[in-house]
Each structure stands twice: as structure tokens, then as C-alpha cells.
Structure 1
């Protein structure tokens, strides 16, 4: 088996592996899976991912066939986030997921990452067990709505916790960035920010791409950083995606 960075020629195989992996691992209907593939792995999105120096797309190849891939991102605060790890169901149980995980971790560390996060839907039993077997801890959850249904996504972090870092707002107030609790952004994760060190009152979010506070969230759950354009998409998918 060869582990290597993805190339533009791998795009059809990546979509195929992602589709079969989603069908095998998640309780998503065919329409939701088709929409997800078009949203996350269309030609333009994959081209942008391959060109983005902050992103890493690795593939696992056996006998000339792509049988798995990982997608990850490293943010400005040196946090590495494993966004997806897909293995063709026909090749599971061969150690491909662990090999991809280790290679992803090594590549992120070479790029300066000092900590790794991951996320997986709660109903993906194998995915959750995988993170736990690799020494990760469940550090929280996030609700996501796909195709009219709400799912729980588990957030994982390495056992060593970073804790909360005090930062000062523009008006001189001290708030606390939780480096172990974050939500996915279009460029890099948004860390949850608390108004108090104990984490009893949520203040807003911290954009890890440009290290600035991003407070605004609309009623649909959308967050956008005014400084760099990093966006947390709404929790609900509207009819345009389905």
C-alpha cells in the first residue's frame, strides 16, 4: 500500500470512496449523500483543497486503486483538525485507516501542528471507536442537521488538554478561548470563547485562522469572521442543497 498526497487525477476515485464510505457508515439517505458529495467533493472544491497550503489530502493506494483518503487542515494557532477519514468498505479491516491516521498526524506535525482534533457523527460506531482506540477523548458534541434530520457529531481531542487561554477584547474585557472545544469553519476551526474562566457563560467564538474574536452568529447558526472570511455554515441545509 502507498500513502501519498492526492493529485487532481485522484478526484473521481476520492468521490467514489467517499460515497461508498458514507453509505456504509452513516444513516443518511441517498439524497443527502448525493448532496454531501456534490457539496464537499465536486471538481471545484477538490481543486481548491489541493491548492490550499493549509489543507492536506492524503490517499491510500493499493494495486493502483485509491482505497481510502484523509482530509485535514492546520490553522494559524497550529491546531491540526482531521476533518474526514474514509476507507472503501471493501478494504476495511486491513489497517488502512490506522495507516492514514498516522501518516496524516506525521504530515501535520511536519507542518507545525502541536495538537490534533477530530470529529465524527455519533451514529458512526466504528468511527467513534477508532478515535478512542487511538487515545482521543470525547470533548463535546455539536448538533448538525442534514436532509431535515438532526444528528449529533462527537468532537475528539488528544488526551492532553490545552485548556482555556485568556484574551482581551477591544473594550478591555478578559474572555477565555477554549482550545479543546471548537467547531468547523470553511478555512479553519472556530474555538468556543467563554466569558468566565470556569466556562459557565459562553461569550462567542475565536477564529483560529487569523486569531481574532468572531462573535456574530445568526439564527441559523452561521458564524463569519469579518477579518478573514472564515465561515461556519448554518446547521440546517436548505432546499438549495437537496
Structure 2
């Protein structure tokens, strides 16, 4: 099995594997899956991702055929490396391809400057949660994600060795209080096209039930909008969190 960075020539294989993997693992309509594949991996979007320094796409190739791939982001130097997607062709699951991709991707993110690997898995994805447990990852929190007008709970994982690692933030205090009585979690960072998005809450304890929305650190505003695919766009500066993920799919 050869593990290497993806190229534009891998586009058709990436789209096919992502589609087949999602059809196998998600109870989503064909329309939703078609929209996701187009929004994430059409030729233009894929080409842009491959040109981004902080985005990593790795493919697993066997005998000249791509069997799986990962997509990851370096969110912030010295902080989080996010595993966004891990897809394996359903016909080749159970052969250790997912584990090889995972190990290779984690090491590559560390070489890019990440201090820890963060991953999110839908709470009802038993296979995905068991995958991380087998790699000695521990659940450190929860989040919510919108999928096709529905809201789902997802579990946030860090490796046991990384839980005590402090990600780099602009402030030594993880809590920032805004003028309108909201509180921003400086350690809950999501990558944006112009600057990070931070999660805002109505309570400084950051309970999930008090989650308010996203705070654009680029222009320091809460004026943003999210579509049904999870894409967040700041209405003031155009900062964009692309709809790259719901949770990872394993095999």
C-alpha cells in the first residue's frame, strides 16, 4: 500500500470513494450526498484545496488504484490538526487501510506544526467511535452539527497523550467575554479562509446547551450565517468556514 499526497489526477477516484462511502455509512438522501460531493470535491474545489498550505489530502493506493483517502486541516500552528474525513472504499474495508491512512495523516499533521490531532465523530456512529477508542483516543467534549436541516450530536476526541497539551491561542485565558454578554472559547478553534472562527456561548462554562454561534476572529463579529451543509460565512468580512465535514467514515 502506497500512501501519498493527492493530486488533481486523483479527483475522480476521490469523488467515487467519497460517494460510495457516504452511501454505505449515512442515512442521507441521494440529493444530499450529490450536493456534498459537488460542494467538497468538484474539480475546481479540489484544485483549490490542493493549493492550500494548511490543507492535507492523502490517498492510499494499491496496484495503481486509490482505495481510500483522508482530508485534514492545520487549524492553527502549535494547536489543532483536524481530521476532517477518512474514507475507505466499502469493498476494501476491514483490510487495515483506514488505520494506515490515520497513522500517516496524524504524523503528517504533526510535521506541519500541529500539537495535537482533533477528531469529531457523530455520537451514533458506533464504528467511528470504536475506531478512535482502539487508537487510545479519549472523548473530551461534544459539539453539534447540522446535516440536511437536522441537528446531530458529535463527540470530540483527542489522543490520551495530547489531552494535557495546551493549544496556542492569542490569549492565555481561554474565556473571552464580549460586550453583549456572550463568552468566546479561545480553545475551540475552527479554521476559516481569512482567520479562525471561535465558538460563542451565553454561559462562561461553555455548556453545549448554551452554545450561541460562531465568532469571526478576523473582524471580531458574530454576524455570520450557516447553511445546511455546515458552511459558515461572516457577513462582514466574507471569512468562510468551508463545509468540509460532518464526521469521519472508517474502514
Structures share fold, TM-score greater than 0.5: yes
The Cα of 1:138 is off from its aligned counterpart by 5.4
The Cα of 1:207 is off from its aligned counterpart by 4.7
Residue 205 (structure 1) aligned with residue 222 (structure 2): no
- 1:83 matched to which residue of 2? 84
Question: Unpaired segments of 5 or more residues in structure 2?
Answer: 168-172, 244-251
CA distance in structure 1 between the partners assigned to 2:31 and 2:47 by the alignment: 24
Match of 2:197 among 190, 193, 198: 190
Q: 216-225 or 108-117, which moves further after superposition?
A: 216-225
The Cα of 1:71 is off from its aligned counterpart by 0.2
CA contact (8 A) 2:225 2:233 kept: no
The Cα of 1:119 is off from its aligned counterpart by 2.2
Please state whether the residue corresponding to 2:239 is helix, strand or coil: coil
CA contact (8 A) 1:60 1:96 kept: yes
Q: Deviations over 1:165-199 (max 9, x none)?
A: 14475x6x9955252x4567567763323465433
Show the 5 A alignment for 1:211-226.
213-218=220-225, 223-225=232-234, 226=236
CA contact (8 A) 2:74 2:109 kept: yes
CA distance in structure 2 between the partners assigned to 1:220 and 1:195 by the alignment: 22
CA distance in structure 1 between the partners assigned to 2:220 and 2:213 by the alignment: 8
- 1:53 matched to which residue of 2? 53
The Cα of 1:64 is off from its aligned counterpart by 0.9
CA contact (8 A) 1:178 1:194 kept: no
The Cα of 1:41 is off from its aligned counterpart by 1.0
CA contact (8 A) 1:117 1:155 kept: no
- 1:137 matched to which residue of 2? 139
CA contact (8 A) 2:72 2:82 kept: yes
CA distance in structure 1 between the partners assigned to 2:107 and 2:242 by the alignment: 27
The Cα of 1:73 is off from its aligned counterpart by 0.4
TM-score (norm 2): 0.76
Residue 177 (structure 1) aligned with residue 179 (structure 2): no
Distance 1:224 1:38, change over 3 A: closer
CA distance in structure 2 between the partners assigned to 1:223 and 1:152 by the alignment: 17
TM-score (norm 1): 0.78
CA distance in structure 2 between the partners assigned to 1:80 and 1:114 by the alignment: 7
CA RMSD of aligned residues (A): 3.2
Q: 77-86 or 5-14, which moves further after superposition?
A: 77-86
- 2:174 matched to which residue of 1? 165
CA contact (8 A) 2:184 2:200 kept: yes
CA distance in structure 1 between the partners assigned to 2:96 and 2:55 by the alignment: 24
CA distance in structure 2 between the partners assigned to 1:140 and 1:19 by the alignment: 26
Question: Unpaired segments of 5 or more residues in structure 1?
Answer: 234-242
CA distance in structure 2 between the partners assigned to 1:26 and 1:3 by the alignment: 26
The Cα of 1:132 is off from its aligned counterpart by 2.6
The count of residues paired between Structure 1 and Structure 2 equals 227
Structure possessing the higher relative contact order (Cα contacts under 8 Å, 6 or more residues apart) = 2
Please state whether the residue corresponding to 2:50 is helix, strand or coil: helix
Please state whether the residue corresponding to 2:174 is helix, strand or coil: strand
Distance 1:28 1:102, change over 3 A: same
